[in-house]
């Protein structure tokens, strides 16, 4: 059922529709578990790379090459993780984006304005902060795109760890923001980090994508058709010079994400449900395992705040992200008919904007691309990404904890289901059947209380009638 359009002011971070709430809850549940695995993988990488007895084995595994050389795919383990496994991550990002465009908040231009403007400002301001910081210190401008990305899995893992009952509307904003953020990150990778082009391989990849699209439109089903074709498209895209993850997002965008009559799920929703655990639980953690292994000695951490490039990354993530997203959201509310929900304050928006400064997966990937060929600077930029993400997480934790009591009350109100029908009561307040069910529940409770009251009254009367019982005065011994 589609909610009627209104011409009045639209609430920013108002209550989600029930279908959107269900989708967001399922998506966040998987991403949160994946985020915890991502944290574990990152910590494992740091220990593995920094314990002297283990460091050589980490380097040996990361740089071990395998794959068919004749096809141009003799890659290191770290390279396979960045170009291969992250294609799965971007495939899911493509499906998420397509779903948001056809069935989610982004299908309504008024609703889409908020996350799009917030995401754009949340990428432009960090890039500007990096550029100014790097230029002031005489550093390289090559890393301008590193602090522009938000890692949704890592951010949600932080939420899970600190245990905040963040309202569904703010969680959905964070999720939608990250989807739009991923789209622009993909465009940045495609436009600014493609140095050479093999037109034959690129043409083959485009032809493979066209076949993929035709098979989908013809209704052909079977993983044994699509998985081999996807691998061929990915290999051709890799050899074309365009980053191979673009193949993943392109295929994700081709899936149908609107439901036909009689369908419980669209093909995109069904495939996303199958692939998201693989992305969040395996692909992204393995990428983190072979990308986050940087030296974190006292000297290396000190250099993060002294070199213009690394300082620019840290300030871009911590300051640029928070100011950009908060500023974009405030400007959208200020110059449109949108207004902030009565249950929330602008401090809540700023806390979520600070949380978006956790830029891990895509920031590490862009760091590798931006300083390719300079191993020392790549390691230093990775350390800066880890440092900036950690500072952003700590600040967001403090800000969210200060409002956690308020969030808990909002969350409890959103989740209350007194009639036990599986649908939160706030979504049934306009349904007469709900009020009839509640009337029956209250009648049963009233009847039970009347029965208890009658029993207690009868018990008191019996005690009053017994000699020496309550209500009688006796001067002598019983």
Q: Residue 309 is encoded by which pair of tokens?
A: 């490039």
Q: pTM (2 decimals)?
A: 0.73
Q: Which residue has the tokens 């009627």?
A: 4
Cα of 158 vs its chain's centroid, Å: 11
Contact 34, 285 (CB under 8 A): yes
Distance in angstroms (rounded) separating the CA atoms of residues 263 and 474: 80
pLDDT attached to residue 263: 82
Contact 295, 49 (CB under 8 A): yes
Distance in angstroms (rounded) separating the CA atoms of residues 42 and 115: 29
| Burial (Cβ within 10 Å: 0-12, 13-18, ≥19) of residue 159 | buried
Reduced to 3 states (helix: H, G, I; strand: E, B; else coil), residue 36 is helix
pLDDT attached to residue 392: 93
Ramachandran bin of 163, using left for φ above 0, alpha for ψ from -120 to 50, beta for the remaining angles: left
Q: Residue 27 is encoded by which pair of tokens?
A: 């998506």
CA atoms within 13 Å, Cβ hemisphere of 110: 12
Buried b (16+ CB within 10 A) or exposed e, 187-206: ebbeeebeeeebeebbebbe
Distance in angstroms (rounded) separating the CA atoms of residues 313 and 424: 43
pLDDT attached to residue 478: 47
Per-residue pLDDT of the chain (478 residues; tens, 9 = 90+): 334 444 445 555 555 555 555 555 565 555 667 778 888 898 999 899 889 898 899 999 999 999 998 888 899 998 899 889 989 988 988 888 888 778 776 777 776 778 888 889 999 999 999 999 999 999 999 999 999 988 877 777 777 666 556 676 677 777 778 778 877 888 888 888 877 788 899 999 999 999 999 999 988 888 899 999 999 999 999 999 888 888 998 999 999 988 888 888 888 888 988 898 888 888 888 988 988 888 776 666 778 888 999 999 999 999 999 999 999 989 888 887 766 666 677 888 898 899 889 888 888 889 988 998 888 898 899 899 999 999 999 999 888 888 777 777 766 666 677 777 777 776 677 778 878 888 888 888 899 999 999 888 888 888 888 765 555 555 555 4
Distance in angstroms (rounded) separating the CA atoms of residues 362 and 379: 15
Sign of the C-alpha dihedral, residues 303, 307, 309, 312? Answer: positive
pLDDT attached to residue 414: 66
């Amino acid at each position: 059922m589609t909610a009627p359009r209104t011409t009045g002011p639209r609430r920013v971070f108002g209550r989600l529709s029930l279908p959107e709430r269900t989708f967001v809850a399922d998506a966040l549940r998987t991403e949160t578990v994946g985020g915890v695995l991502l944290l574990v993988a990152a910590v494992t990488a740091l220990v593995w790379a920094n314990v002297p007895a283990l460091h050589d084995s980490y380097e040996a595994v990361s740089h071990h090459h395998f794959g068919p050389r004749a096809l141009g795919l003799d890659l290191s383990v770290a390279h396979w993780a960045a170009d291969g496994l992250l294609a799965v991550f971007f495939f899911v990002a493509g499906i998420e984006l397509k779903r948001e465009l056809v069935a989610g908040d982004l299908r309504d231009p008024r609703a889409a304005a908020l996350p799009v403007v917030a995401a754009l400002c949340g990428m432009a301001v960090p890039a500007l902060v990096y550029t100014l910081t790097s230029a002031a210190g005489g550093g390289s401008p090559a890393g301008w795109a590193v602090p522009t990305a938000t890692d949704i899995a890592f951010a949600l893992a932080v939420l899970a760890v600190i245990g905040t009952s963040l309202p569904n509307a703010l969680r959905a904003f964070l999720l939608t923001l990250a989807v739009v953020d991923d789209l622009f990150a993909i465009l940045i990778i495609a436009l600014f980090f493609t140095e050479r082009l093999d037109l034959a391989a690129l043409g083959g990849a485009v032809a493979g994508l066209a076949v993929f699209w035709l098979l989908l439109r013809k209704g052909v089903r079977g993983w044994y058709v699509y998985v081999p074709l996807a691998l061929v498209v990915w290999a051709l895209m890799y050899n074309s010079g365009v980053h191979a993850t673009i193949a993943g997002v392109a295929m994700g965008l081709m899936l149908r994400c609107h439901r036909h009559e009689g369908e419980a799920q669209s093909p995109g929703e069904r495939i996303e449900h199958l692939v998201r655990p693989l992305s969040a639980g395996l692909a992204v953690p393995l990428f983190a395992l072979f990308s986050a292994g940087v030296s974190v000695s006292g000297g290396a951490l000190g250099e993060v705040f002294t070199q213009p490039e690394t300082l620019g990354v840290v300030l871009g993530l911590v300051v640029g992200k928070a100011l950009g997203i908060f500023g974009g959201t405030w400007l959208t509310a200020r110059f449109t008919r949108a207004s902030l929900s009565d249950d929330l304050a602008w401090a809540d928006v700023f806390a979520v904007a600070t949380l978006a400064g956790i830029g891990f997966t895509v920031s590490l990937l862009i760091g590798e691309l931006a300083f390719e060929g300079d191993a020392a600077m790549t390691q230093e930029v990775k350390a800066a990404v880890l440092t900036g993400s950690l500072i952003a997480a700590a600040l967001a934790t403090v800000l969210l904890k200060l409002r956690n009591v308020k969030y808990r009350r909002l969350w409890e109100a959103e989740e209350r289901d007194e009639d036990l029908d599986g649908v939160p009561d706030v979504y049934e307040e306009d349904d007469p059947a709900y009020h009839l069910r509640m009337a029956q529940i209250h009648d049963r409770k009233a009847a039970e209380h009347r029965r208890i009251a009658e029993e207690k009254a009868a018990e008191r009367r019996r005690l009053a009638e017994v000699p020496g019982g309550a209500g009688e005065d006796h001067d002598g011994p019983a």
